[in-house]
Structure 1
Amino acid sequence: MFFTYLRRELRRRRKAALVVASGLALGIALVIVVSSVSSGMGKAQEKVLQSLYGLGTDMTVTKAMETSEGGGERPERPRFSFDAQAEGSGEEQSTDHVMVQGFQSLADSTVDKVGEQSGVADAVGGLSLQVVKVSGEFTRGRFQQDGQDGGQGGPGGAGGAEPSEGGRVQGGGADFDVNSYSVYGTDVTEPELGPLTSSRITDGRTFKASETDAKVAVVDSAHAKEKELETGDTVTVKGTKFKIIGIATAESGDAAADLYLPLKQAQTLADAKDKVTTIYVRATDSQQIDSVKSAIQKNVSGTTVTTSADLADTVSGSLSTASSLATGVGTWLSVAVLVTAFLVAGLLTSSAVSRRVREFGTLKALGWNSGRVTGQVVGEAVVHGLMGGVLGIALGLAGAYAVTAISPTLQAELGGGAGGSGGMGGPVGGPGREAAAKTLEVALTAPVGLTTVALAVGLAVAGGLVAGAFGGWRASRLRPADALRRVA
């Protein structure tokens, strides 16, 4: 009897049912879109942080900035020396200067100290370097006396004679090019931790655990394209040749370094034996990151610990703005629309009950009690809510798909300020590479999970119950006498 009456009433009041369901659907669809966009924001931020952190890294440890009244000891400036050759004018000369990023380093024994702290599952050190390569050639000038050409050479001309009055030197000079790129020394025995894990090998292979002191290298794909390098080629750093065994492509669009070398080789190049710039830490429990951070800061002096939460605070640009809108304005807007939809559904249901006074009064006269009438109204309202839920889920999925299809590009600017030294121009907590200071572009997606769909179903049922509560309360107060008064 219940379902028969329910089916008949829904068919008879199709327009009213569609209005109630549509109102609920709009609110539910907005909730789905906002939830999926917020989830997409989180994934976009994760991609940005992966350009600073390696996959699986919970925190990084760097040397604390040293301050003194005198401003501290200034690092030695790079010096470049070239030979002055008597012969062979025009011969190209080049020299490399390898510097530790930020001029701040830790003893590699600190890695063991960090690894011994409670709550630390694994810790691995790395050395971030900046290589400045100067290459070019000198060109000798030509001494020319008035009215005749002199020979190529120095002030004495080609024959070494003293220049006569009225003579002059023409031409000559130097043409040098300065090229800078980043190098990261990685612990090849720990391939699952460190900045190289945020890139995938697209050609060749990665390091083997046995290549701790091998002259091999992995090159970032962007750097390889710029320098026209391929797997099997060699690169020379400070006179040492390294064979390229693989090409790595950063998952987040920005690589940690241009060139990756085994840690021992990087330490040798920078004359930084037993030194590291960054320690990458993985916690045993992601819920205890704060306590692990506190333990390291307390027990390992002279260090700064940076977590992913600290780095997230340094992300600005349109990504940060859009994330704030999605979590703030978007959430409150969804709540407001949803509450409005519930109220409208309740009022429409209550209004419909007022128009059915004669019907419900007659049913009570035939023996229906108040509970049965109320149950009938609530059942109709719940069906309206489920219809709105189905329609809302369809609209929400369409909206999320549209956002993903368009994939608007968001910009994320990475800045310092969370403590710790990331190196020259590098962000806090990172390996201190120059490239990471650039603005990153991340495509926004709107993934819809099962949790979001379950939330939509719950809201649909809740909307039906709210509307049914309004109508049921009104219906429960009707008396058979009300129906008899309205009989013509």
Structure 2
Amino acid sequence: MFFTYLRRELRRRRKAALVVASGLALGIALVIVVNSVASGMGQAQDKVLQSLYGLGTDMTVTKAADPQEEGQAQRPRFRFDAQDSGSDEEQSSDRVMVQGFETLASSTVAEVGAQDGVSNAVGGLSLQVVKVSGQFTRGQFQQGGGADFDVNSYSVFGTDVTEPELGPLTSSKITSGRTFTSSETDAKVVVADASYAKEKELAVGDTVTIKGVEYEVIGIATPESGDAAANLYIPLKQAQTLSDSADKVTTIYVQATDSQQIDAVKSEIQKNISGTTVTTSADLADTVSGSLSTASDLATSVGKWLSIVVLAAAFLVAGLLTSSAVSRRVREFGTLKALGWRSGRVTRQVVGEAVVNGLVGGALGIALGLAGAYVVTAISPTLQAQLGGGGGTTGPGGGGFGGGPGRQAAARTLDVALTAPVSVTTIALAVALAVTGGLVAGAFGGWRASRLRPADALRRVE
């Protein structure tokens, strides 16, 4: 009887039911789109952060360089042997320098790893190589004698090959060849960034020379987002040898046991290991500016508040329309009560109709929300993320997360495509909102229906 009457009443009042369902649908669709866009913003920001510090890293430990007085900054110096032969010979010289921060003792890695809340810690050494090559031309001044030299600079990162799950290399995918094996701790092998390999026409099996030492290219790494952390990656021990930095690292990459306790772990490290600076991914996220940051703020603040306002308005309108519909059905409900229907039964009938309207609105809202999210994903608007503007969190060379090699913070901008993924949680939220909207509308109408008396029906008889 309940469902039969429910079906007949909904069919008889299709227009009113559609108006209520449409209002709820718009509110629910807006919630889905806003949540999906906010999720896409989070994924875009994660891509930006992973391009800086690598997948799985929660924080980095570094030691800031001591301020140098004016005129004390070290400059790279190059020496060339004088040639006394008649032929002009090409000469070259490499200068390998530790880049960015002061070095830390390798033993600090173990100290950090022993702190409460630390799951894993691994050290890395960031280097900058400046190569000067060319030749002196013998001859008289009037005949054009002189020198022609080329200066080439590139970044090298020494990575702990025994801990491949942490560090900047984890933000890149090996697209040719292979990565390091745990036995290559002191091997003369190198993984090249794809852009650098293309520029220098390097392929797997080729060799590159750093400070007179030949390294075999065993793999080509392509960054999955953003720029590469370094041009070349070599085993940490080899990097220490090249830079005369035995048992030294510039950066310690840390993974916490619980992502919810990162701030506590940061405080623990800073308290127990003096002279270090701990930078978390949240610290770096605060330095991300540009359209990505602006759009993220809009999605998380303005968008969510707009969703709340629209939903509240939709619930209120649905409730008022349901209550108004009850007022127009005084004769019907009064007659039903005269026939023996109790107030509770009348109320359940009204609430049942409102819940069905809510579910229909939820279905329409989910369809509209999915369509909106699909449109955003199909268009994939490009957002820009400018990095490194928040002093104190930049890495070697002036940018990056706590010591990522080779950063140029002031002018570094990444383009990120925005998507709007719809999660199961978002769909569940939409269903819950649909049911809630129906219950709210039913509460208005049910309260109005429960107050009707059989005598009210008689007063409406013409």
Q: d(CA) in 1 for partners of 2:42 and 2:166? A: 22
Q: Which of 420, 427, 430 is 1:456 aligned to?
A: 430
- What does residue 16 of structure 2 align with? 16
Give 1:452's aligned amino acid: T
Q: d(CA) in 1 for partners of 2:70 and 2:302? A: 47
Flag structure 1 segments of 5+ consecutive residues without an equivalent: 141-152, 156-168
Query: 1:369-423: per-residue Cα shift (whole Å, max 9, x none)?
Result: 2111111111100000000000000000111111111111111111153535621
Q: Which of 165, 175, 179 is 2:148 aligned to?
A: 175
Say yes or no: does 1:252 pair with 2:221: no
Question: Higher mean Cα deviation, 189-198 or 421-430?
Answer: 421-430
Give me the identity figure in percent. Answer: 79
Contact 1:277 1:431 (8 Å CA) reproduced: no
Secondary structure, counterpart of 2:126 in structure 1: strand
Contact 2:222 2:228 (8 Å CA) reproduced: yes
Contact 1:63 1:421 (8 Å CA) reproduced: no
TM-score by length of 2: 0.96
Deviation of the 1:103 alpha carbon:
5.1
Query: 1:53-100: per-residue Cα shift (whole Å, max 9, x none)?
Result: 221111100003434xx7499442101223343445654322211111
Deviation of the 1:101 alpha carbon:
0.7
Secondary structure, counterpart of 1:51 in structure 2: helix
Say yes or no: does 1:154 pair with 2:140: yes
Q: Which of 389, 397, 409 is 1:424 aligned to?
A: 397
- What does residue 269 of structure 1 align with? 242
Q: d(CA) in 1 for partners of 2:306 and 2:174? A: 44
- Alpha-carbon RMSD across the aligned residues, in angstroms, is 1.7
Contact 2:100 2:403 (8 Å CA) reproduced: no
Deviation of the 1:480 alpha carbon:
1.4
Say yes or no: does 1:467 pair with 2:429: no
Give 2:425's aligned amino acid: T
Deviation of the 1:135 alpha carbon:
2.1
Give 1:62's aligned amino acid: T
Query: 1:292-346: per-residue Cα shift (whole Å, max 9, x none)?
Result: 1111101111100011111111111111011000001100111111111111111
Q: Which of 208, 212, 228 is 2:201 aligned to?
A: 228
Deviation of the 1:116 alpha carbon:
1.6
Secondary structure, counterpart of 1:415 in structure 2: coil
Q: Which of 171, 175, 179 is 1:202 aligned to?
A: 175
Give 1:34's aligned amino acid: V
Q: d(CA) in 1 for partners of 2:316 and 2:86? A: 90
Secondary structure, counterpart of 2:398 in structure 1: coil
- What does residue 45 of structure 2 align with? 45
Give 1:484's aligned amino acid: L
Q: Which of 304, 308, 316 is 1:331 aligned to?
A: 304
Secondary structure, counterpart of 2:397 in structure 1: coil
Deviation of the 1:427 alpha carbon:
2.3
Deviation of the 1:479 alpha carbon:
1.5
- What does residue 213 of structure 1 align with? 186
Q: Which of 428, 449, 457 is 1:483 aligned to?
A: 457
Flag structure 2 segments of 5+ consecutive residues without an equivalent: none
Contact 2:59 2:279 (8 Å CA) reproduced: yes
- What does residue 313 of structure 2 align with? 340
- What does residue 147 of structure 1 align with? none
Q: d(CA) in 2 for partners of 1:476 and 1:308? A: 57
Contact 1:64 1:420 (8 Å CA) reproduced: no
Secondary structure, counterpart of 1:52 in structure 2: helix
- What does residue 164 of structure 1 align with? none
Alignment of 1:393-432 (within 5 A): 393-417=366-390, 419=392, 422-432=395-405
- What does residue 36 of structure 1 align with? 36
Give the number of equivalent residue pairs. Answer: 461
Q: d(CA) in 1 for partners of 2:256 and 2:448? A: 58
Q: d(CA) in 1 for partners of 2:109 and 2:137? A: 50
- What does residue 148 of structure 1 align with? none
Q: Which of 95, 114, 136 is 1:97 aligned to?
A: 95
- What does residue 392 of structure 1 align with? 365
Say yes or no: does 1:284 pair with 2:257: yes
